[in-house]
Structure 1
Amino acid sequence: MNLLTILTNLAQTMLSTVTDVIPIAVIIFGFQFAVIRQPVPNIGKVLTGFVWVVVGLTFFLVGLERALFPLGKLMAQQLTDPVFIAGGEALNAVKQAITLSWQDYGWVYLFAFLIGFSTTIAEPSLIAVAIKANQVSGGAIGIWGLRISVALGVAIGISLGCYRIVVGDPIHWYIIAGYVVVVIQTLFAPKLIIPLAYDSGGVTTSTVTVPLVAALGLGLAETVPGRSPLIDGFGLIAFASLFPMMSVMAYAQLSQWYAQRKRPEAAQS
């Protein structure tokens, strides 16, 4: 790939980013001037910020397209390949159509867990939500505590979703059971964390996580015998959205339990 191609791709991505950002700017400035009818404080800084947003998103998207997405797709294809799973007897296993059990996909589950955790930790939308939650709660909600709890939820959810693809279970039973747990947790979790926990499921379905998780699900469904990429390959995003609700509320419940346990010990001392 030559420099001209890179610059052309960069320019096209920047043009697309500007096109995506303009409606947001029009709505914000339109309401500011037409509805609120007040000037924008520090208009120079605001416009400079919009420029940096466009530049940052451009480089971010190009980096994802050129490096992270192809690498993630390649890893998913390699780890779900029966030749890799069958090991040294790969060719014979493929030729004789030996059926692999769900235990043989251990590396897939581990990769799903790690890729789910790492992509969620790097998710820009989650970082933004965690910072705002920390600010409005006066520090009661830790930035890293929220990010790690959401990432653990995504990691567990994607691993379980990969297991579902391998064994071929209907997805709706997992989703129904998951939401039953969420409803039960809602009854006992601290009220401060419940709305944030529900929102945490949505922030995971963003720029970094979705393409890699989708590539993993489709790659797994294409290589597991008897699975349909259309029916079984999709659905991992649902797991990635559901389980962070559980993990964030569980994090809050554990924190509350730990704080209550510490109070009697502090009173005795």
Structure 2
Amino acid sequence: MDEVKTIAKETIQAIFPIVMMVIVIQLILFDDPLNHVLQFIIGALMVTVGLGLFLLGVKVGLLRIGELIGSELPQLLSFPILIVFVVFLGIAVTVAEPDVRVLAQQIDVVSDGAISKNVLVAFVGLGVGLFMAIAAARMLLGVPMKYLLAVGYIMVFALSYFVPSNFVPVAFDSGGVTTGPLTVPFIMSLGVGITSVIGGKESLGDSFGFVALASLGPIIAVMLLGVIYA
């Protein structure tokens, strides 16, 4: 019950300022704002309830199951099989991410179907999965994060010279949408779980960086898709 109260308070504190700001703008700019304001208030209430329930689900379910999976897999599986499982987990959570779906739908519409939303989602998911596996392997092998990020972004800027210009912003947006409210909690909790088993509690700082690499993967994957389309 305390968790419900805490999340309700945090949700209201997050949404209330923007609700008040939008209402004030509507009252100032619209000639007959009452109908618009009423509709907006109803929508804001629905958003508040929905966001609160979502955050509650993330806290009591997604975070815990991600950490549990991350702590159990290294004890049950060998290194190669663990990496394969991490790839599939990354793909699964990305495909379920609402932000990825929205971006894919918008790109499909804007490109008149030239860039299929299913193909884009598949490449984004594959990019997240592969780079989550790289993040897990980094912890197992002790590779510094800075080297992986440096190599990754060198690849990004090198590929940008070979892909069609319209793919570059799509690629970077694809990396951004993988930091959505569903993907990030799962990735971070999975990293904490894996690190707690592999490196012990004293090296839990190694669990950070999963999201950085996971958001880098889709950028490279979509740019490679651009090379294919070119």
Which of 71, 95, 98 does residue 65 from structure 2 map onto? 71
> With structure 2 as the length reference, what TM-score do the two structures score?
0.85
Q: Which has the larger radius of gyration?
A: 1
Cα separation, partners in 2 of 1:226 and 1:71, compared to 1, 3 Å: closer
SS of 2:152's equivalent in the other structure is helix
Corresponding position of 2:56: 62
Cα separation, partners in 2 of 1:112 and 1:253, compared to 1, 3 Å: same
Deviations along 1:192-243, one digit per CA (max 9) or x if unpaired, are: 2211211221221222222222222223223225895244222111111111
Inter-partner Cα distance in structure 2 for 1:63 and 1:225: 29
Once the two structures are superposed, the pairs formed by residues 31-46 of structure 1 within 5 Å of their partners are 31-34=25-28, 37-38=29-30, 42-46=36-40
Corresponding position of 1:252: 226
Larger RCO, structures 1/2 (Cα 8 Å, 6+ apart): 2
Deviation at 1:161, TM superposition (A): 0.9
Deviation at 1:29, TM superposition (A): 3.9
Corresponding position of 1:164: 138
Q: Is residue 2:199 matched to residue 1:205?
A: no
> With structure 1 as the length reference, what TM-score do the two structures score?
0.74
Deviation at 1:154, TM superposition (A): 0.7
Q: Retained in 2: the 8 A contact 1:165–1:227?
A: no
Which of 188, 210, 214 does residue 214 from structure 1 map onto? 188
Tell me how many residue pairs correspond in the alignment: 228
Inter-partner Cα distance in structure 2 for 1:118 and 1:250: 21
Deviations along 1:136-165, one digit per CA (max 9) or x if unpaired, are: 444444333322221111111100111111
Inter-partner Cα distance in structure 2 for 1:62 and 1:191: 41
Which of 8, 11, 16 does residue 17 from structure 1 map onto? 11
Inter-partner Cα distance in structure 2 for 1:48 and 1:192: 38
Once the two structures are superposed, the pairs formed by residues 112-131 of structure 1 within 5 Å of their partners are 112-131=86-105
Which stretches in structure 2 are left out of the alignment for 5+ residues? none
Q: Retained in 2: the 8 A contact 1:218–1:229?
A: no
Deviation at 1:9, TM superposition (A): 4.4
Deviation at 1:77, TM superposition (A): 0.8
